[in-house]
Structure 1
């Protein structure tokens, strides 16, 4: 699995961080980003739910 966040779409709602805090965080400006080393989701079962929770669809998950 590979997770990508489109910074041009992200509005910083933080729903991904609330849903899967072990994978997502927010930068100093409030925009979502992946925690270092978590680009593959780190086996967190809530990653897909976090992507669905994004109100603007900024998170893309692809299966390898």
Structure 2
């Protein structure tokens, strides 16, 4: 439900997603804690790259 709500907010807003994230992130709050992990050097970015490369490699094998 949270992801669907975030998507609806982005769709209905004139503000860019980066500003909406800033608007809902309280300093020291739960969103800030989660974003600190996701945006870390070992966070979501490297994980997504590994997943995409694994899918690419498997598609070549098939």
TM-score exceeds 0.5: no
Specify which structure has the higher proportion of helix: 2
Q: Normalised by the size of structure 1, how large is the TM-score? A: 0.22
Taking structure 2 as the reference length, the TM-score comes to: 0.22
Higher relative contact order (CA closer than 8 Å, sequence separation 6+): 1
Larger-gyration structure (1/2): 2
Structure that is richer in strand per residue: 1
